[in-house]
Amino acid sequence: MFDGNAKVAFPGKGAIIMLPGESSGLSWSWKSMRQNRWGYTLIVYLHGLNSAGASAKAGVLRESLPSLEVISPTYPAHSAGLAIEHLTDELAPLMEDGRYAAEPRLLVGSSMGGFYGAWLAARLGFHHLVMINPALSPWTLLQQVEGWQYNEAKDENYYLSSEMVAATKAYHTQPDAVGVPVTLLMDKGDELIDYRQVEKRYRGMANIHLFEGGSHAFEHMDEAVAIIGEIHHSLMGDGSPQMNANKRK
């Protein structure tokens, strides 16, 4: 909620891949992207609650995937209506930018960013959604933190009311309604979100990667970078990211 290498074969939607820290088996490494330029391929990263666009995860993506353009907007994650409005207004023009028309567009969301990502992915024309420790039921999860909050990343205090928490339910998206291929990355040690409930909800609807240990902050970004890079590589396979995306539906 608050914001090693892995073997990835993409065996098909619904695969559950256990990743306890095994050694690299990738035939393609994200490091090879440093020698490749694929134009204006876009990754949008959505941060979680009490975070901002300059989050550590966004920084890792930029540093590790230098050939891709990573955009990480700051938005009011605590206010669902404003969050969706802000993200739509900021991202919709990017989706209409001709530079990205023939390139894969990946949406990556952590915690509340995953929740909003499920609502926005198809609506804004992304080709793939990656959710990291997603907060899929914030209308119940956030009840435990109602009241005054401090967002250190923005140096901002705000009040999280019960009405604001309840308002998130209006943007709940069922797994079969996301509209784009989904990859789930979850730390089994997440202290806020029960990975078993998320896995159960998306079983058969997503590629699921479970990591031993970790926390809600997510402690497997090296593996995440490899997986996200492989998703991009897969979408570039026939020069038509939308065609590849449709094959996974």
Quote the pLDDT of residue 40. 64
CA-CA-CA-CA torsion for 92, 55, 205, 241, nearest 10 degrees?
50
For 10-43, what is each residue's pLDDT tens digit?
334 444 444 433 333 333 333 333 333 444 678 9
Contact indicator for 12, 234 with CB cutoff of 8 Å:
no
pLDDT of residue 216: 95
Please tell me the predicted confidence (pLDDT) of residue 235: 85
DSSP SS3 for 69: strand
Separation between Cα atoms, residue 156 and residue 158, nearest integer Å: 7
Domain range annotation of the chain: 33-137+187-247
Q: For residues 54 and 51, what is the distance between their CA atoms, to the nearest angstrom?
A: 8
Q: If you classify domain 33-137+187-247 with CATH, what class do you get? A: alpha beta
- Which residues in the chain land under pLDDT 70? 1-40, 101, 238-249
pLDDT at site 205:
95
Maximal C-alpha separation, the chain: 50
Buried b (16+ CB within 10 A) or exposed e, 109-142: bbbbbbbbbbbbbbebbbbbbbbbbbbbbbbebb
Q: Return the structure tokens found at 97.
A: 């930018």
Give the ranges where the chain is alpha helix by DSSP (H): 56-64, 80-95, 112-124, 138-141, 162-167, 195-202, 221-235, 241-247
Q: What is the pTM of this model?
A: 0.81
The identity of residue 138, as a single letter, is P
150-184 pLDDT per residue, tens: 999 999 999 999 999 999 999 999 999 999 999 99
